[in-house]
Amino acid sequence: MTRISRRSVLQAGAAFAAAGLVPTRFAIGQTAKVRVGLMLPYSGTYAALGEAITSGLKMAVNARGGKLGGREVEYILLDDESNPGKGPENASKLIAGDKVDFLVGTVHSGVAMGMAKVATDTGAMLIIPNAGVGAATGPLCAPNIFRTSFSNWQPAYPMGKVAWDRGMKNVVTISWKYGAGEEQLGGFEEGFTQLGGKIVKRIMLPFPNEEFQANLTEIASLKPDGVFAFFAGSGALKFVKDYAAAGLKSIPLMGTGFLTDGVLAGQGAAAEGVLTTLHYADALDTPENKKFRAEFKAFSGKEADVYAVQGYDSGQLLAIGMDAVKGDTAAGSRAALIAAMAAAEIRSPRGAFTLSKAHNPVQDIYLRQVKNGQEIVLGVAHKALADPAKGCKSA
């Protein structure tokens, strides 16, 4: 703790010194704080994710003396309630009402779509720290829209090869029937079928239904070689438990990391052996990750997770852009800001990554497995994977 605070004091001092060197014409801009609008879920199902992202981002900024490009930062927090109906309104409120320089958000894909739409309309700078909806770095991609997390396709696609390599021929896929579910299953199915695998059945449940028993019975009757599932949050917790209780453990269960991340403790022994792919793993054995996790724990009092990483990297991306333009957020510096952010190489706890032309991370996808109640990393399932960015005109 003391070590960290001393370090941040040193950094703050450095930032202060740097501020003294910038030309005077920025003097007015500097006195005004950079306004960063955090539009995230602070209530409801995704509240914990919103908090983690917020902490991660603030930690990244604090590590730079609480400044971006030499300017103090003011955060404007807005609870998006994970309500897509209010997405565009809330985004407009931050952009037009609170006049934020950067808009950061959010978790829920539907809300993020609304934000992306408003960002396209207004040209506001948007960083998406979680929502994986493909369109944000696909048809809706724009110079001012960035994503530091993943596209839904991205973590799922490599699992297709993993399944094939493990000798599976017939797989059942199951998810909720909504955009993220369709895209994630689509990613896996693409990876699996292009190698010759067969999807026996795709089961799509109404979102957010959590009574799986009927469908587990159905899976048992289909007797596939493996099951690929996409669920998150409470649905993930319950699905894995029910899957084990229904005696299906003889059929390997696969998914993206969301199937176990954050709910592993609740799943207990039921999660044993579950294979997942994701762009991060808590157990990632790198110095960067270990350092990050320790600092995050000290900073927020909670264990870091993938959301904290994504929040942290959003903060890093902000800092890189702002440093490049020395804190100038005026329209004249916009092109330079975007160029610097697009070219950023981010030294993330997940491993360094760059951004694709559609502004989505080009990143390693790890293969993980639950063993003895712990998520362990088996290796990299796909190195430097880029989202195909279907429909994006600038990619």
Shorter beta-carbon distance to another protein: residue 19 or 38: 38
Tell me which stretch binds another protein (CB under 8 A): 95-103, 321-329, 333-341, 366-374.
95-103
For position 177 contacting another protein by CB under 8 A, the verdict is: yes
For position 113 contacting another protein by CB under 8 A, the verdict is: yes
Shorter beta-carbon distance to another protein: residue 109 or 363: 109
For position 32 contacting another protein by CB under 8 A, the verdict is: no
Q: In what order do the strands lie in the sheet with 125-128?
A: 67-68, 71-79, 34-40, 102-104, 125-128, 145-147
For position 46 contacting another protein by CB under 8 A, the verdict is: yes
User: Residue written as tokens 């490599």?
Assistant: 158
Among 37, 51, 61, 317, binds another protein (CB under 8 A): 51
For position 77 contacting another protein by CB under 8 A, the verdict is: yes
For position 374 contacting another protein by CB under 8 A, the verdict is: no
Among 11, 12, 33, 178, binds another protein (CB under 8 A): 178
Shortest distance, CB of residue 269 to another protein, whole angstroms?
Answer: 9
Shorter beta-carbon distance to another protein: residue 93 or 357: 93
Per-residue three-class SS string for the chain: CHHHHHHHHHHHHHHHHHHHHCCHHHHHHHHCCEEEEEEECCCCCCHHHHHHHHHHHHHHHHCCCCEECCEEEEEEEEECCCCHHHHHHHHHHHHHHCCCCEEECCCCHHHHHHHHHHHHHHCCEEEECCCCCHHHHCCCCCCCEEECCCCCHHHHHHHHHHHHHCCCCEEEEEEECCHHHHHHHHHHHHHHHCCCCEEEEEEEECCCCCCCHHHHHHHHHHCCCEEEEECCHHHHHHHHHHHHHCCHHHCCEEEEHHHCCCCHHHHHHHHCCCEEEECCCCCCCCHHHHHHHHHHHHHHCCCCCHHHHHHHHHHHHHHHHHHHCCCCCCHHHHHHHHHHHHCCCECCCCCCEEECCCCCEEEEEEEEEEECCEEEEEEEEEEEECCCCCCCCCC
For position 263 contacting another protein by CB under 8 A, the verdict is: yes
Tell me which stretch binds another protein (CB under 8 A): 83-91, 187-195, 292-300, 386-394.
83-91
Q: Which positions from 240 through 259 interact with another protein, judged by CB under 8 A?
A: 241-242, 245-248, 250-251
Among 123, 268, 273, 373, binds another protein (CB under 8 A): 268
Shortest distance, CB of residue 346 to another protein, whole angstroms?
Answer: 28
For position 393 contacting another protein by CB under 8 A, the verdict is: no
For position 185 contacting another protein by CB under 8 A, the verdict is: no
Q: Which positions from 205 through 224 interact with another protein, judged by CB under 8 A?
A: 205-211, 213-218, 220-221, 223
For position 109 contacting another protein by CB under 8 A, the verdict is: yes
Tell me which stretch binds another protein (CB under 8 A): 239-247, 312-320, 352-360, 380-388.
239-247
For position 45 contacting another protein by CB under 8 A, the verdict is: yes
C-alpha to C-alpha distances, 344 to 149, 295, 316, 359, nearest whole angstrom: 14, 23, 9, 10
If binding means CB under 8 A, how many residues of this protein chain bind another protein? 70
Shortest distance, CB of residue 225 to another protein, whole angstroms?
Answer: 12
For position 115 contacting another protein by CB under 8 A, the verdict is: no
Give exposure, 362-380, as e/b (b: 16+ Cβ within 10 Å).
Answer: ebbbbbbbbeeeebebeee
For position 43 contacting another protein by CB under 8 A, the verdict is: yes
Q: How far apart are CA 194 and CA 189, in angstroms?
A: 8
For position 296 contacting another protein by CB under 8 A, the verdict is: no
For position 313 contacting another protein by CB under 8 A, the verdict is: no
Residues that bind another protein (CB under 8 A): 42-48, 51, 77-79, 83-85, 87-89, 92-93, 96-99, 109-110, 113-114, 117, 133, 176-179, 203-211, 213-218, 220-221, 223, 233-235, 237-238, 241-242, 245-248, 250-251, 262-263, 265-268
